């Protein structure tokens, strides 16, 4: 057994153990911290699978932003947990559930083991067409060129999620701002962190988006890092969340899918097909679309974390 194999097996055990902790831990807070740890370990696994783009997404969204969302929720729901009136499942149901889950896992595992060593692949096709897009990173090409329609709809899903979260506001808060008001004196330690981190993070976010054309990275990852920076500034109460009825906010939320859709329609006119890019002009078009996607993601994720409006709108 080589060192690499030993490392892989150890990593696999660690991932599984932390995952089991998030399921079986006693308190919800302990479980959510376990989930943050799990997200980071998963990024390591993705590196081992040579999927660096996915590792980057997992690191930024799976561990970072989701961690903020879940830890915040667990801290707020603590009162609900202590006054819990749920009755746990009976022993027999538990056994049945466990048996079902073991069966599902075994079925999936057998599928995994039955996969041929050289599976079917779209890699040659994506590499063959890559020069036409002008990009160097095939994952970005899949996202913005080959499967552009998919990605556009996925941005629409993000907008719908924000609409869903906002619609949970009480009637009188509709259009107001989520979260607490800006503190007169922000928490000093957090403010210090946010003031140093945010400019650096914005730089890194834009860098990740920009190199995404040729290296691992891209609009999702860059946008998520930018979103995280806005979240830390809001957590430090250096700024408050914007009102949900602010025009600029709504424009930024829909800018990504809107520009994407417009580009797709323009493709139908100028390049002969819906979501086709004119030859020789593909890379600028892709970067243009991506820039607006970054903007939308950077605005959408913080709004999802901030939750529904909780204050009355100012006129």
Residue numbers 11-70 binding another protein by CB under 8 A? 11-12, 14-23, 25, 28-38, 40-70
Closer residue to another protein, CB minimum distance, 194 or 285: 194
DSSP 208-268: HHHHTTTSS--HHHHHHHHHHHHHHHHHTTSSPPPPTT-HHHHHHHHHHHHHHHHHHHHHH
Footprint on residues 229-288 left by another protein (CB under 8 A): 229, 231-232, 235-237
Taking every pair of Cα atoms in the chain, the longest distance, rounded to a whole number of angstroms, is 68
Among 206, 211, 249, 258, binds another protein (CB under 8 A): 211
Closer residue to another protein, CB minimum distance, 195 or 245: 195
Residues 227 and 224: their CA atoms lie apart, in Å, by 5
Query: Closest Cα partner for 200 from 226, 174, 221, 172?
Result: 226
C-alpha distances out from residue 67 to 33, 224, 240, Å: 8, 13, 20
Report phi then psi at 309, rounded to 5.
Answer: -55, 140
Footprint on residues 153-172 left by another protein (CB under 8 A): 154, 157-158, 161, 164-165, 168, 170
Closer residue to another protein, CB minimum distance, 68 or 295: 68
Closer residue to another protein, CB minimum distance, 27 or 278: 27
- In the bound complex, what is the minimum distance in angstroms from residue 188's beta carbon to another protein? 9
How many residues make contact with another protein (CB under 8 A)? 164
Beta bridge partners of 309: 178
Closer residue to another protein, CB minimum distance, 153 or 270: 153
Residues 220 and 217: their CA atoms lie apart, in Å, by 8
Closer residue to another protein, CB minimum distance, 62 or 242: 62
Among 132, 174, 175, 190, binds another protein (CB under 8 A): 190
CA 13 to chain centre: 25
Among 129, 131, 196, 270, binds another protein (CB under 8 A): 196
Footprint on residues 113-152 left by another protein (CB under 8 A): 113, 115-124, 126-128, 138-139, 141-143, 146-147, 150-151
Among 10, 131, 199, 278, binds another protein (CB under 8 A): 10
Among 134, 217, 256, 267, binds another protein (CB under 8 A): 217
Report phi then psi at 178, rounded to 5.
Answer: -80, 160
DSSP 143-178: IIIITHHHHHHHHHHHHHHHHHHHTTS-GGGTTS-B
Closer residue to another protein, CB minimum distance, 201 or 264: 201
C-alpha distances out from residue 123 to 69, 91, 118, 138, Å: 35, 48, 12, 8
Beta bridge partners of 178: 309
Question: Burial, 123: exposed, middle or buried (Cβ in 10 Å; 0-12, 13-18, 19+)?
Answer: exposed
- In the bound complex, what is the minimum distance in angstroms from residue 269's beta carbon to another protein? 26
Per-residue x/- mask for another protein, residues 81 to 120, rule CB under 8 A?
x-xxxxxxx----x--xx-xxx-xxx-xx-xxx-xxxxxx
Does position 201 interact with another protein (CB under 8 A)? The reply is: yes
- In the bound complex, what is the minimum distance in angstroms from residue 228's beta carbon to another protein? 6
- In the bound complex, what is the minimum distance in angstroms from residue 208's beta carbon to another protein? 6
Closer residue to another protein, CB minimum distance, 91 or 272: 91
């Amino acid at each position: 057994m080589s060192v690499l194999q030993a490392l892989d097996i150890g990593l696999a055990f660690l991932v599984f153990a932390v995952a089991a902790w998030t399921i079986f831990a006693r308190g919800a807070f302990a479980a959510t911290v376990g989930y943050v740890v799990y997200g980071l370990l998963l990024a390591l696994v993705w590196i081992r699978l040579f999927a660096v783009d996915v590792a980057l997404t997992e690191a930024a969204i799976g561990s970072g932003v989701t961690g903020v969302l879940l830890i915040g929720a667990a801290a707020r729901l603590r009162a609900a947990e202590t006054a819990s009136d749920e009755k746990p499942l009976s022993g027999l149901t538990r056994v049945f559930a466990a048996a079902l889950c073991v069966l599902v896992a075994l079925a999936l595992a057998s599928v995994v083991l039955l996969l041929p060593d050289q599976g079917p692949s779209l890699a040659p096709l994506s590499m063959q067409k890559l020069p036409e897009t002008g990009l160097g990173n095939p994952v970005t090409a899949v996202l913005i060129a080959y499967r552009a329609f998919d990605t556009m709809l996925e941005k629409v899903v993000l907008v719908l999620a924000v609409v869903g979260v906002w619609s949970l506001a009480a009637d009188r808060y509709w259009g107001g701002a989520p979260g607490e008001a800006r503190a007169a004196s922000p928490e000093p330690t957090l403010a210090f962190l946010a003031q140093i981190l945010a400019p650096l993070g914005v730089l890194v976010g834009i860098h990740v988006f920009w190199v995404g054309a040729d290296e691992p990275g891209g609009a999702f990852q860059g946008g998520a890092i930018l979103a995280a920076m806005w979240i830390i500034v809001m957590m430090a109460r250096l700024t408050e969340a914007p009102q949900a009825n602010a025009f600029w906010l709504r424009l930024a939320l829909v800018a990504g899918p809107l520009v994407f859709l417009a580009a797709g329609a323009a493709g139908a006119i100028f390049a002969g097909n819906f979501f086709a890019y004119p030859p020789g002009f593909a890379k600028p078009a892709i970067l243009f679309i991506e820039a607006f996607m970054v903007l939308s993601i950077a605005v959408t994720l913080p709004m999802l974390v901030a939750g529904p409006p909780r204050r009355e709108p100012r006129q």
